[in-house]
Amino acid sequence: MNDFIADQDRGILAAHQLDSFEALWALELEAVDEPNTERGGYSTVSRLVLGEHAYYLKRQTNHLTRSLVRPFGEPTFARELRNIQRYQQLGIPALQAAFFAERKAPGKHCALLLTRALDGWTDMYELLGQWPQFSAAQQQAIILAVAALAKQLHAAGQLHGCFYPKHIFLREQQSGYGACLIDLEKTRPMRLRRSDRIKDLETLLRRASVWEAAEVQLFLQHYLDEGEDLSLWSQRLGLRQQHKQARR
């Protein structure tokens, strides 16, 4: 894949002499979490602040994913960039890419992905941990924002594939909350529409365990299309949850 640099970020990166793979790769930054060593490679994430602009810089070595189209593998960041761009084209709110590049050397396949930080946003996992502290109106606004995001995602024919609360970010606005998605590595177009929808929803609702039954019903009421049976969907989600628990 060719190097990518977003028009919005080109001048910012150039001003700091960071508009190349080599410059970004050479930066000495502290990782924000433990390195990812899955897939036989190595991947890290660091925060990068350039004046008033904040980013997250992800760098990886030999962290590859394989498919029928790419049997010899490609960096997972290459796939994530394509997914970010597809979401942007489809109008699904999600993180934004600023820079991507990859380089090959004997025995090494390196890649980096720079994304704009979601400063001012809070992940849903953190909000659920504070759930009793929110007013009823705030709780309802959060539920409606997440339902609207899920509906928009699936209406566009996309399965997120990792629809956890920690991958949904929210920000309070004048009227309710805005919501967007991160971690698009596993997303794909839907194959079996109903099954894929249930897969994403069950993943989310199982982890939103602080929601009472009435709150789950509120979420489904605003997620489902007109004419879809709420009780039938609740039953389907319950069956999938039982199936998941039985496999443990």
Q: How confident is the model at residue 212 (pLDDT cuts 50, 70, 90)?
A: very high
Asked which of 116, 151, 186 is the last residue of a domain, the reply is 116
34: CATH: 3.30.200
Residue range 4-21: mean pLDDT, rounded: 98
- Across all residues in the chain, what is the average pLDDT? 93
Give, for 177, the enclosing helix (H) or strand (E). strand 177-181
Residue range 56-67: mean pLDDT, rounded: 89
Q: Contact, 93 vs 179, CB < 8 A?
A: yes
Q: What is the pLDDT of residue 15?
A: 97
Residue 85 and residue 192 in one domain: no
Residue 71 has pLDDT above 70, yes or no: no
Residue 104 and residue 216 in one domain: no
Q: What is the pLDDT of residue 197?
A: 97
- Structural domain count of the chain: 2
Q: How confident is the model at residue 73 (pLDDT cuts 50, 70, 90)?
A: confident
Q: How confident is the model at residue 241 (pLDDT cuts 50, 70, 90)?
A: confident
Q: What is the pLDDT of residue 121?
A: 98
Asked which of 65, 93, 116 is the last residue of a domain, the reply is 116
Judging by DSSP bridges, how do beta strands 122-123 and 177-181 pair with one another? unpaired
**Measured CA angle at 76 (ends 201, 200), to 5 deg:** 5
Q: What is the pLDDT of residue 8?
A: 96
Cβ atoms within 10 Å, residue 164: 16
Judging by DSSP bridges, how do beta strands 42-50 and 53-61 pair with one another? antiparallel
Residue 163 and residue 232 in one domain: yes
Q: How confident is the model at residue 63 (pLDDT cuts 50, 70, 90)?
A: confident
Residue range 147-166: mean pLDDT, rounded: 98
Residue 160 and residue 109 in one domain: no
Residue 75 and residue 136 in one domain: no
Rounded Cα gap, residues 59 and 65, in angstroms: 15
Q: Contact, 48 vs 32, CB < 8 A?
A: no
Residue 137 and residue 229 in one domain: yes
The residue type found at 222 is: H
Residue range 13-41: mean pLDDT, rounded: 91
Strand partners, 122: 170
Q: What is the pLDDT of residue 34?
A: 85
Rounded Cα gap, residues 201 and 223, in angstroms: 10
Residue 83 and residue 175 in one domain: no
Q: How confident is the model at residue 206 (pLDDT cuts 50, 70, 90)?
A: very high
163: CATH: 1.10.510.10
Residue 44 and residue 109 in one domain: yes
Q: How confident is the model at residue 166 (pLDDT cuts 50, 70, 90)?
A: very high
Residue 138 and residue 232 in one domain: yes
Rounded Cα gap, residues 17 and 20, in angstroms: 8
pLDDT in tens, 85-126: 999 999 999 999 999 999 998 889 999 999 999 999 999 999
Give percent helix, percent strand, percent coil of the chain, each to the nearest 5.
Answer: 45, 25, 30
pLDDT in tens, 169-197: 999 998 899 999 999 999 999 999 999 99
Residue 127 and residue 233 in one domain: yes
Rounded Cα gap, residues 33 and 98, in angstroms: 21
What percentage of the chain has pLDDT greater than the value 70? 97
Q: How far is CA 153 from the centre of its chain?
A: 12
Could you tell me the residue range of the domain that residue 18 belongs to?
4-116
Least confident range from 46-50, 67-71, 88-92, 103-107: namely: 67-71
Residue 39 has pLDDT above 70, yes or no: no
Asked which of 93, 116, 139 is the last residue of a domain, the reply is 116
Strands (E), 87-167: 97-105, 108-116, 122-123, 158-159
Residue 147 and residue 237 in one domain: yes
State both tokens at 58. Answer: 């992800």
User: Sign of dihedral through CA atoms 128, 130, 136, 138?
Assistant: negative
Length of the chain: 248
Residue 129 and residue 176 in one domain: yes
Residue 152 has pLDDT above 80, yes or no: yes
Residue range 54-63: mean pLDDT, rounded: 95
